[in-house]
Structure 1
């Protein structure tokens, strides 16, 4: 059962073998080891914080590694292989539901909507959600935020994802795009830049945004163990200060300027694809403009998880969310 992944998956060899996939690190200052759940244009403000020197301005040396999946990211955090995780808030709830003695605390929100888009293989005629009824829909992993936000949206549109269509969700995240490209599914749920790449290649068309349809969520958040935060309050504050500076920079700059800043992290992706991906996320308000995770967003997350059958009990926002660092970062910037 997927809820047990983080409690029992402490494979030190796996954690230690994770390749460094970032461009940060190697400088002077207080070292902070950050694990991102995947490498994604969805996380543009994080790369801006590194490339524009916002972390260095705060006296931090951020060592970024890609931890490839929510389960591995949380394993790395709980086993102290990383100090801070960038991952979906649902993972902190799963840890809390297991009765963790050292819970994981959300302290800085990065993205505030789902980052996936609905792509249709057949682009003839005007799209309507009813087209999904009776179709083959290539979705995401059960229990993960993309799949839960997708199901939440389908239910809002009057579509039962269990009975009204054939839902495929047994394909590894890294293989979903290639499965669709090889002919699996009439519809697929994709992140950028893959959606833009497929559009450019004529393999389909983006017809809807799950981010727009599912509303504001604490979709991707910086989090750390309660014990780490307690011992490193000054570091966490400086980290959040840098995050807020980056968020403000992203909010006030064009998609082209943001793309140029983050291109070192996407060397195998064409610039025009990075630009179109950033533009799409900016236009739908995906990038949070401050690190505060508010109660309305949190309750929306709980509703999404509850509908998916992944919530044992509603966890009050103040239980595993600490907005004090985000609030101080905003005050300090005034």
Structure 2
């Protein structure tokens, strides 16, 4: 009898220890993002609005920056703990000796669109024809900027011959085009759908669908991910797991959600003043979200090839793509 009681006590202590071990090491977090209302980052808003972070024992404060490059800077500078941003940054930072790692894929296609002001329709046939023009991007050095750089280089031009202007990711980006402050824009939905609806632009390149992404990159091209400093992951594995769990729940929810479900979940400010437009944009972007949360080796190579197309330093650097993504947290998610 005493032996049974002792075993029971040991079992109970073991369960308590496991529970304590599973608790996030750092429950209060600052998460950076560059343009939260964009559909590129929809899994973040879903995780927030559905209470998935809280369900994982996390208190997440979200700091929304003007573009992905700014949220990256905040992570490197230490003012945020994690970032929902473009996978490409994990490659570029490895070259600079500042290792950051993605732990879950949120977007399997970039969803970025290069659109040109209608008045240039006869002049601009390829991205190389943007020479001398002003191109709006969410922020210089962001994934929207890289997207245009790649397209220009692929078409035989030089991105340095164009001027890149940060216009943000919302109404300001729409206004910049409508006011004639820029000649072209590399942005995402709902910004692009708004400009299309108002007949302000024509589309030059569209990565919102699998077909469009393959036409541009020749295959898949990972987009938004959750990335953190390697040091943070090593010190806070349970916190990292909790974040991945929350984002995975968001991806599962999105896999069956309808545009109306999404519109009912996000803040009304995301609509850009038109709920119907927003739902149209959601429908156009639903293909972009990851189905597994895991970046394929081909996807990693595609992202590297895109950057190497216009970045000579990166093309010459020795990059270990296996260090840019850690899939163990996604694989540990309880399905």
Normalising to structure 2: TM-score of the pair? Answer: 0.76
* C-alpha displacement of 1:50: 1.3
* C-alpha displacement of 1:274: 1.6
* C-alpha displacement of 1:61: 1.6
**Alignment of 1:210 onto 2:204:** no
Task: Indicate the residue corresponding to 2:267 in structure 1.
Answer: 263
The partner residue of 1:242 within 234, 242, 246 is 246
**Alignment of 1:279 onto 2:299:** no
Q: Report the RMSD for the aligned CA atoms in angstroms.
A: 3.0
* C-alpha displacement of 1:248: 1.1
* C-alpha displacement of 1:245: 1.1
* C-alpha displacement of 1:242: 1.3
User: Does the aligned pair in 2 maintain the 1:73–1:85 contact within 8 Å?
Assistant: yes
User: Does the aligned pair in 2 maintain the 1:41–1:274 contact within 8 Å?
Assistant: no
Task: Indicate the residue corresponding to 1:84 in structure 2.
Answer: 82
Unmatched runs of 5 consecutive residues or more in structure 1: 1-28
User: Does the aligned pair in 1 maintain the 2:95–2:318 contact within 8 Å?
Assistant: no
**Alignment of 1:293 onto 2:295:** yes
**Alignment of 1:106 onto 2:110:** no
- Partners of 1:265 and 1:108 lie apart in 2 by 27
User: Does the aligned pair in 2 maintain the 1:34–1:83 contact within 8 Å?
Assistant: yes
- Partners of 2:162 and 2:270 lie apart in 1 by 29
User: Does the aligned pair in 1 maintain the 2:263–2:275 contact within 8 Å?
Assistant: yes
* C-alpha displacement of 1:187: 4.5
Task: Indicate the residue corresponding to 1:22 in structure 2.
Answer: none
- 195-204 or 231-240, which deviates more: 195-204
Task: Indicate the residue corresponding to 2:67 in structure 1.
Answer: 69
Task: Indicate the residue corresponding to 1:97 in structure 2.
Answer: 95
3-state SS of the aligned residue for 2:32?
A: strand
Task: Indicate the residue corresponding to 2:230 in structure 1.
Answer: 226
Deviations 1:104-159 (A, max 9, x none): 1111111122222233443999x998466646665346654323333444565xx3
- Partners of 1:131 and 1:232 lie apart in 2 by 46
**Alignment of 1:306 onto 2:308:** yes
- Partners of 2:102 and 2:126 lie apart in 1 by 38
- Partners of 2:152 and 2:117 lie apart in 1 by 18
Task: Indicate the residue corresponding to 1:7 in structure 2.
Answer: none
3-state SS of the aligned residue for 2:118?
A: coil
* C-alpha displacement of 1:201: 2.3
Deviations 1:80-114 (A, max 9, x none): 211111122222223222223xx211111111222
The partner residue of 2:115 within 103, 114, 119 is 119
Moved over 6 A (4+): none
* C-alpha displacement of 1:208: 4.2
**Alignment of 1:59 onto 2:63:** no
User: Does the aligned pair in 2 maintain the 1:121–1:186 contact within 8 Å?
Assistant: yes
- Partners of 1:135 and 1:322 lie apart in 2 by 38
CA, structure 1 residues 275+227, in 2 after alignment: closer, same or farther (shift >3 Å)? same
CA, structure 1 residues 112+138, in 2 after alignment: closer, same or farther (shift >3 Å)? farther
- Partners of 1:268 and 1:308 lie apart in 2 by 34
Deviations 1:261-308 (A, max 9, x none): 1135626542112211111111xx211123212211110011000001
CA, structure 1 residues 50+179, in 2 after alignment: closer, same or farther (shift >3 Å)? closer
3-state SS of the aligned residue for 1:326?
A: helix
